[in-house]
């Protein structure tokens, strides 16, 4: 069988970073579309030569002027199967696709959800248009939303797009705004809320929640707030519409940690309506809401959270893109009842 590998050759430029993997990621030709994580895998596989010698240590040093040769194998077919699942496509071109994901759909196959996922659907939808993202012909997932959160998600179809989008999400330059229905109303005049560690108010009555997030100590399926370990997380919350004992809020992510909005809102004492994990046993009361609102909230089968807008720079064209998604039917119905 013919070797269909591609060989990428280049010279290490002046003042290289101390680590080989960082130097390679900096100087590899842009048209090779090799991300740092992809380069790390190729290093581990012995596919990188520096001055004719195989290099596998990502932490090794490298000198200016060193000659690098990277052998990139042909992308393999993904082990994830294609499935004909309807998709709501908001935007699509050669490099990327923006999907309005329904609640109930898992983004990527995992134990407990081996198929029926967004990735299965995308592999079927995109067919041969997929490039070798990460070494396999599959869509590049650069951010995720929970199974029972609805809304907008951008997915890379090419290595170039995957790398460009990943940088934007890593640097927090991509815009992500969520709409949520929560218990209570985040009020800057609420002394209880001002006493919550990590919570503060910015101009415009914007609630800023800044903590660290990590795995819960006893329940590994949950995330938990911490102030001495975990990953830095920042959420900003603005009340869009207030009701007697609930609110429609806009949540803006500065970081994108697992379950971040849900955990932060619960930490602030304003858990999302319907949240089965972080919502506790909170219920709406007929003293403050209509019987219909109480009924709908009690039967709401998921966290009332929707990824309503998404903005980023197109990684290939440089065009500024922004997309908006209306509230799905279940949240719109609940919102109407709260207003009533």
Provide the annotated active-site residues: 146
157 near 96, Cβ under 8 Å? yes
CA angle at 200 for the pair 197 and 203, rounded to the nearest 5°: 180
Instruction: For residues 171 and 292, give the distance between their C-alpha atoms in angstroms, rounded to a whole number.
Output: 43
Question: What is the C-alpha to C-alpha distance for residues 157 and 88, in angstroms, rounded to an integer?
Answer: 16
Nearest CA among 152, 154, 82, 77 for reference residue 121: 82
Residue 130 backbone dihedrals phi, psi, to 5 degrees: -75, 140
Contacts of 62 (CB under 8 A, 6+ apart): 12, 16, 20, 23, 24, 50
């Amino acid at each position: 069988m013919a070797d269909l590998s591609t060989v990428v050759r280049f010279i290490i430029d002046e003042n290289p970073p101390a680590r080989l993997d960082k130097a390679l990621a900096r100087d590899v030709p842009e048209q090779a579309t090799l991300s740092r994580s992809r380069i790390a895998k190729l290093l581990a596989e012995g596919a990188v030569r520096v001055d004719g010698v195989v290099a596998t240590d990502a932490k090794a040093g490298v000198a200016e002027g060193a000659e690098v040769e990277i052998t990139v194998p042909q992308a393999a077919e993904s082990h994830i199967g294609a499935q004909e699942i309807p998709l709501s496509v908001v935007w699509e071109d050669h490099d990327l696709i923006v999907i309005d994901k329904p609640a109930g759909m898992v983004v990527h196959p995992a134990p407990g959800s081996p198929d029926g996922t967004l990735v299965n659907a995308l592999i079927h939808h995109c067919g041969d248009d997929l490039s070798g993202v990460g070494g396999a012909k599959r869509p590049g997932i650069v951010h995720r939303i929970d199974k029972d959160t609805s809304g907008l998600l951008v997915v890379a179809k090419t290595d170039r797009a995957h790398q460009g989008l990943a940088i934007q999400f890593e640097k927090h330059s991509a815009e992500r705004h969520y709409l949520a229905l929560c218990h209570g109303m985040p009020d800057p005049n609420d002394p209880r809320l001002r006493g919550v560690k990590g919570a503060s108010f910015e101009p415009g009555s914007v609630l800023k929640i800044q903590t660290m997030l990590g795995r819960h100590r006893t329940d590994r399926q949950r995330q938990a707030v911490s102030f001495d370990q975990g990953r830095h997380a920042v959420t900003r919350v603005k009340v869009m519409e207030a009701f007697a004992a609930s609110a429609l809020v806009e949540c803006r992510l500065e970081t994108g940690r697992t379950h971040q909005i849900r955990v932060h809102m619960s930490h602030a004492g304003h858990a999302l309506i319907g949240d089965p994990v972080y919502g506790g046993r909170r219920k709406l009361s007929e003293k403050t809401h209509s019987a219909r609102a109480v009924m709908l909230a009690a039967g709401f089968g998921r966290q009332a959270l929707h990824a309503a807008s998404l903005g980023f720079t197109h990684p290939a064209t440089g065009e500024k893109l922004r997309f908006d998604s209306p509230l799905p039917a279940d949240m719109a119905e609940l919102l109407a009842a709260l207003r009533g």
